Structure 1
Amino acid sequence: MQPVTIERQNPPGLHATPGYHHVTTVAGRTAVYLAGQCPLGLDGAVVAGGVLEQVDQVVANTATALDAAGATPDDVVRTVIYVATADRAVLSAVWDRFTASKIGAAFSTASTLLGVTCLGYPGQLVELDVTAAVS
């Protein structure tokens, strides 16, 4: 079996980051692509509360999906966070909530945070796209 490596780096000549890495390189792994993880409970409805409560549900859903794939947050090689807002303070609060969560290690890799106009479900404020690599 080929050795497994995940290398994360911030190359010289690129700006400093608040915890994520600009480049993630994977060798000797199987790619795992999660569907966009939404703030839906088991009943299929968007959870009650605001954006931070929705982040908490997305965290729970993502942890479940990663586990089902035999992956952990440390195996994540790319994340994209979508937030239905143009408010940078809200974006920052969402980033902080994700990075402090039980899947926080997933955001030390190549990560993108986007403010968008709207998401797929009525009342949905956040969605997370995750790619992982497992042996």
Structure 2
Amino acid sequence: MIIERDNPAGLHSTPGYHHVTTVESRRLVFLAGQCPLAADGQVVPGGLGAQTDQIVANTLTALRSAGAAPEQVVRTVIYVASSVGEELAEVWARLNDSALAPAFSTASTLLGVAALGFPEQLVELDVTAALD
């Protein structure tokens, strides 16, 4: 498998992700949106930080089940139920300080949204990985 990441000249510099990710792969893995749910199906308490940590744990578990690692992630979309820039930045920083951090060096989008699927849910992560 070949994953190439690029920031072409003429585009703005980024806080760690790449504008363009090109992949030659035999297998793609698409994860369902990873929510901040504990194994019992309940949204974890503790606010944005705790929920971000839970989506990291859930995403790592899902990737491992497919035989994938964070370094093989080629696209992420991060949804935060907030329009406050500081809260979006907090999620981005926390993700990039986690064991999942290599996943965010690729093509990535961070969105503030009005609401997510579960009551009290503040964050969700959509991930695509490429494997040999």
- TM-score w.r.t. structure 2 length? 0.99
Gaps of 5+ in 2: none
Gaps of 5+ in 1: none
CA shift, 1:28, in A, is 2.9
Task: Report whether the alignment pairs 1:117 with 2:114.
Answer: yes
> Who is 1:9 aligned against?
6
Q: 2:70 aligns with which of 70, 73, 77?
A: 73
CA shift, 1:109, in A, is 0.2
Amino acid at match of 1:38: C
CA shift, 1:118, in A, is 0.2
CA shift, 1:29, in A, is 3.0
> Who is 2:21 aligned against?
24
SS in 2 for 1:82: strand
Deviations 1:81-121 (A, max 9, x none): 00000000000000000011000000000000000000000
> Who is 1:63 aligned against?
60
SS in 1 for 2:126: strand
Q: 1:37 aligns with which of 30, 34, 46?
A: 34
Percent identical among aligned pairs is 64
Q: What's the RMSD between the two structures over aligned residues?
A: 0.5
- TM-score w.r.t. structure 1 length? 0.97
Amino acid at match of 2:78: I
Query: Which residues of 2 match residues 46-57 of structure 1 at below 5 A?
Result: 46-57=43-54
SS in 2 for 1:113: strand
Amino acid at match of 1:41: A
Structure 1 residue runs of 4+, over 4 Å off? none
Between the two proteins, the alignment pairs up a number of residues equal to: 132
Amino acid at match of 1:111: S
Distance 1:47 1:123 in 2: 9
SS in 2 for 1:24: strand
Distance 2:41 2:113 in 1: 22
CA shift, 1:78, in A, is 0.2
Amino acid at match of 1:55: T
Amino acid at match of 1:121: F
